Structure 1
Amino acid sequence: MNVLEVQGLSAAYRKNTALTNVTCSISQGSLTGIVGPNGAGKSTLIKTLLELHPRLAGEVTFFGSTLAKEKKRIGYVPQRGSVDWDFPTNALDVVMMGLYGHIGWLKWPKKKHEEKAHAALEQVGMTDYATRQISQLSGGQQQRVFLARALVQAADLYFMDEPLAGVDAATERAIMAILKQLKEAGKTVLVVHHDLQTVTDYFDHVLFLNRTVIAHGPTETTFTNENIEKTYGGAVRFIKEGTFNGHSRVR
């Protein structure tokens, strides 16, 4: 079953085209890396799908329905740089925000909600930082907290905008282990990703984007030199030694 269907999606910033005629289908239980050069519209795609940025044209369905009807089944981790980390709140409170759809905006959280938030922090290895102000956390720790906020929603479909950007190696491994656990549990995850070297290790599907979909499908058959060249043009250098499933490595 396809949990997300996108048909002819277009978006712009003022008079500058950001996305044009984006069409793709995302199947349930897939872990998809969205890759493309800077300015390709990767973050804009997620924001437009989630109606955080207006679309000019196109149709989008989630689980065969609308975003409004299926919102509780969707989790979102934004780019770390788009968050006001000076906001006076601690890690536990940030995670609790992911439960507002269940609690209600004008209601106090109950003990069960707090227990869920603590469990999510434990899942990302941040239990000891529950009462720490988010401004006092490192970049990798902040990213783990935002991942916990998404996890506590117990969503079926997750969008993650560069969750591995600027994190240390241990955090990267921890995040990817969690994303693979979500996939194994039948969840669907779409990740904006910037490192071509790790695509085949991290994702079972890859979506090449440069304002429109260049290629999309299983990583094994879609992550090819031809598609990389079509997407990145001359911006990519190939490493002769070593391969990605028989294809030249890229950096």
Structure 2
Amino acid sequence: MTHVLEVNNVSAAYRKNKVLDNVTFAVDKGTLTGIVGPNGAGKSTLIKTLLELHPSLSGDVAFFGHSLKAEKTRVGYVPQRGSVDWDFPTNALDVVMMGLYQKIGWFKWPMRRHKEKAFETLDKVGMADYAHRQISQLSGGQQQRVFLARALIQEADLYFMDEPFAGVDASTEKAIMTILKELKNTGKTVLVVHHDLQTVTDYFDQVLLLNRSVIAHGPTVTTFTQDTIANAYGGAVRWMKEGLQHGHPTVQ
């Protein structure tokens, strides 16, 4: 069976500093993968490079066995909230409808059914009451829900999400996680850049430990171990209790 995503020897750099070094891994359909590693490990750069938002130095990437260009409509992306210009004069409904432009066409007006679909998707993330609110007037958690809705309305098969839980409240994190698990249960595939080591085992069935290159990748229950975490973080990890089986790792 062809993997949903195949990454072979991908390297990337910022100026002369290599931030990804021969990254190789493959992702199966219907999995929920946490991309975990220390600051500066290249997690966000990995997603941007795979999606051709950042140039690669070398390597090959296949989406459903083909190029990104051939399968672009099947791929959704939620960027880091901090990378978005939230002062842009638009409301939540319009932001969500942006996710439909590949289907509508950039120079065509959205139809009533498109707006209804956007409302339905906003309702799914608990934001229907804010449909006509300017995005600059929303809280951080509300903004993140709107961007999640923009990705969901694409009805993609593969989703990339860059730190979706950063700066959000506990209720928003719980709501987002519920949606991600629903996506997985319907056969969708999701990769999430994640920073909270304490929730990895609860949130993800697969984990990719990254520190410029792949330290480990596989089922969370067998891959997210003391040794692989220490290798990824250079030993800068302590456990709240002795042994990963009885506690949670945290970065010092």
Q: TM-score, normalised by structure 1?
A: 0.98
SS of match in other structure, 2:234: helix
Structure 2 counterpart of 1:250: 249
Structure 1 counterpart of 2:10: 9
CA distance in 1 between partners of 2:111 and 2:217 (Å)? 43
1:112 Cα shift?
1.2
Structure 1 counterpart of 2:200: 199
Deviations 1:72-104 (A, max 9, x none): 000000000000000000000000000000000
1:248 Cα shift?
4.5
CA distance in 1 between partners of 2:103 and 2:113 (Å)? 11
CA distance in 1 between partners of 2:150 and 2:119 (Å)? 10
Structure 2 counterpart of 1:100: 101
CA distance in 2 between partners of 1:138 and 1:58 (Å)? 39
Query: Quick check: 1:224–1:247 contact (8 Å CA) kept in 2?
Result: no
CA distance in 2 between partners of 1:63 and 1:229 (Å)? 33
1:247 Cα shift?
5.8
CA distance in 1 between partners of 2:149 and 2:247 (Å)? 36
CA distance in 2 between partners of 1:89 and 1:226 (Å)? 47
Structure 2 counterpart of 1:130: 131
Query: Quick check: 1:239–1:248 contact (8 Å CA) kept in 2?
Result: yes
Q: Which amino acid aligns with 1:105?
A: W
What fraction of aligned residue pairs are identical, expressed as a percent? 74
Structure 2 counterpart of 1:119: 120
Note the 1:85-234 alignment, pairs <5 A: 85-234=86-235
SS of match in other structure, 1:117: helix
Deviations 1:143-192 (A, max 9, x none): 00000000000000000000001100000000000000000000000000
SS of match in other structure, 2:20: strand
CA distance in 1 between partners of 2:247 and 2:18 (Å)? 32
CA distance in 2 between partners of 1:112 and 1:157 (Å)? 24
Q: Aligned residue pairs: how many?
A: 249
1:43 Cα shift?
0.1
SS of match in other structure, 1:237: strand
CA distance in 1 between partners of 2:189 and 2:54 (Å)? 22
Structure 2 counterpart of 1:60: 61
Query: Quick check: 1:225–1:248 contact (8 Å CA) kept in 2?
Result: no
The gaps in structure 2 that reach 5 residues or longer are none
1:234 Cα shift?
2.7
Query: Quick check: 1:91–1:134 contact (8 Å CA) kept in 2?
Result: yes
1:224 Cα shift?
0.2
What RMSD, in angstroms, separates the aligned Cα atoms of the two structures? 0.9
SS of match in other structure, 1:60: strand
SS of match in other structure, 1:180: helix
CA distance in 1 between partners of 2:118 and 2:241 (Å)? 47
Q: TM-score, normalised by structure 2?
A: 0.97
Query: Quick check: 1:225–1:247 contact (8 Å CA) kept in 2?
Result: no
Query: Quick check: 1:10–1:55 contact (8 Å CA) kept in 2?
Result: yes
SS of match in other structure, 2:235: helix
